Structure 1
Amino acid sequence: MRSAVFGLFLCAVLPLVNAGCFSAERKSTEKFCQDSVDKTWHPTGSVWRNSKCFDCNCSADSMRCCDAMERPVNYPEKCQVEYDYTTCTFEVFEKVPCSATGGVLGK
């Protein structure tokens, strides 16, 4: 019991969380930016959040997107991350081994 509680604690307290930005230069004559994730077009001067939780803006000379959701890194191997892109949140939890019991379906 004590090791299970400790394992859950390790999963809950992550040593590092990673977030980042990327940008792409564009010609000032271009009137739209294309979101590289959703493949949608946005007019110069617009700001949007794409389906993978990046906040983007389209300016006259570049398009810049920054991660709106922190993403965990360096968590214990026995843990896994589940992202919810509708709320831009994540949950880290301990993996639970599964075993098949009973019969096997099939031919």
Structure 2
Amino acid sequence: MKSFLAFLIAMGIIVTLSDAVCWRKMHKPEEDKNGCMINGKVYPFGHIERTEDCYTCNCSEDGVECCSLAHTPVAFDEKKCKVVFNKERCDYDVVQKDDPSKECFVYSRVG
């Protein structure tokens, strides 16, 4: 029972610390009525699984709401490692500064 309670507390802390990068934009009356403009590209109304800039969005006639697909690393060896954005996977790679072909261990991510 104690381990279950500890698990619930840990999950509550993790959810509280999560930091999803989301934004919302309402349409102006003069804007395109055929979809949503996201970073210079018009997307059709409905759910957008993945934009060119690694967001998942919902586009409606009222506006657009998007959240980042990438999870930002926040705990890793910053002296030996660096963060590199991988646009193919819509995520961040953490690699050694001296040898970028080697990955570094990441303790936690947010997003």
TM-score bin, normalised by smaller chain: 0.5 to 0.7
Q: Which runs of 5+ in 2 are unaligned?
A: 1-16, 100-111
1:33 aligned onto 2:61: no
**Post-superposition offset of 1:82:** 1.6
Which fold has the larger relative contact order, with Cα–Cα distance below 8 Å and residues 6 or more apart in sequence?
1
2:105 maps to which residue? none
Look at both structures and tell me which one has the larger radius of gyration over its CA atoms. 1
| Paired letter, 2:63 | S
Q: Which runs of 5+ in 1 are unaligned?
A: 1-15, 98-107
> Structure 1 or 2: larger helix share?
2
1:44 maps to which residue? 45
Q: In the comparison of the two structures, how many residue pairs are matched?
A: 80
2:8 maps to which residue? none
1:84 maps to which residue? 86
Query: How far, CA to CA, are the matches of 1:92 and 1:17 in structure 2?
Result: 19
RMSD: 2.7
Query: How far, CA to CA, are the matches of 1:67 and 1:59 in structure 2?
Result: 18
Q: Taking structure 1 as the reference length, what is the TM-score of the superposition?
A: 0.58
Query: How far, CA to CA, are the matches of 1:44 and 1:91 in structure 2?
Result: 32
**Post-superposition offset of 1:27:** 4.5
- Does the CA-based 8 Å contact 1:17-1:71 persist in structure 2? no
- SS class of match (1:49): coil
Query: How far, CA to CA, are the matches of 2:71 and 2:95 in structure 1?
Result: 16
Runs of 4+ in 1 over 4 A off after TM superposition: none
Aligned pairs (5 A) from 1:88-103: 88-96=90-98
Percent of aligned pairs with the same residue?
31
**Post-superposition offset of 1:58:** 0.7
